[in-house]
Amino acid sequence: MTQITARLTSGMAVTLSNGRHEWLADEPSDVGGSDTGPTPYELLLASLAACTCITISWYCQGKNLPLESVSATYDFSRIHIKDCEDCDDPGKGLIDRITSNVHIEGDFDEAQRKRLAQIAERCPVHKTLANGVTFEDNATFNT
């Protein structure tokens, strides 16, 4: 099981820990934060980008493929369904969209390129986001 602990430190700044490492999240100054770290959405995209690069690296190592480098850029946007040309049931509401650009360098044949493109979409974080998650939310209060 993976566990992250978050603790609000000041304003909107949050210290995050996995028990081995600590890092910060915050909001930009223009929305009331101090901009001391990436936003929660930036951390989400960073998790996806890191997982994509690691998954491609593992695959190439396992298959002895000549991976020279891999990088991934992810963008998050929220769009109105009525403005989405390829969405089912356009109407009211919003959808969240993540767009990727994965750049893989190495001497690959066409079949390997096709397979690596598939692998990029199969990292565990991508699969979790694409399949959705079930939340079990709990809140505790000191009295």
Q: Is it the case that residue 2 has pLDDT exceeding 70? A: yes
Q: Which of 111, 74, 76, 110 is nearest to 96 (CA)?
A: 76
What is residue 78's predicted lDDT score, i.e. its pLDDT?
A: 85
CB atoms within 10 A of CB 63: 12
Residue 19 Cα distances to 5, 33, 51, 126, angstroms: 8, 25, 20, 24
Q: Is it the case that residue 92 has pLDDT exceeding 70? A: no
Percent of the chain exceeding pLDDT 70 equals 92
* Mean of the per-residue pLDDT values of the chain: 91
Which band of pLDDT confidence, cut at 50, 70 and 90, is reported for residue 1?
A: confident
Phi, psi of 84 (to 5 degrees): -100, 115
Q: Are strands 67-80 and 5-10 parallel, antiparallel or unpaired?
A: unpaired
Which band of pLDDT confidence, cut at 50, 70 and 90, is reported for residue 94?
A: confident
- Report yes or no: 69 and 45 within 8 Å, Cβ to Cβ: no
Its pTM stands at 0.85
58: its two tokens: 């593992």
pLDDT digits (tens, 9 = 90+) for 103-117: 999 999 999 999 999
Which band of pLDDT confidence, cut at 50, 70 and 90, is reported for residue 87?
A: low
pLDDT digits (tens, 9 = 90+) for 30-49: 999 999 999 999 999 999 99
Phi, psi of 16 (to 5 degrees): -110, 145
- Report yes or no: 26 and 39 within 8 Å, Cβ to Cβ: yes
Distance separating alpha carbons of residues 78 and 97, to the nearest angstrom: 6
The residue ranges of every structural domain in the chain are 1-37, 39-131
Q: DSSP letters of 13-66?
A: EEEEE-SS-EEEE---GGGT----S--HHHHHHHHHHHHHHHHHHHHHHHHT--
> For 7-16, 86-95, 103-112, which range has the lowest pLDDT when averaged over its residues?
86-95
User: Which of these CATH numbers, 3.90.700.10, 3.30.300.20, 3.40.50.880, 1.10.10.10, describes 39-131?
Assistant: 3.30.300.20
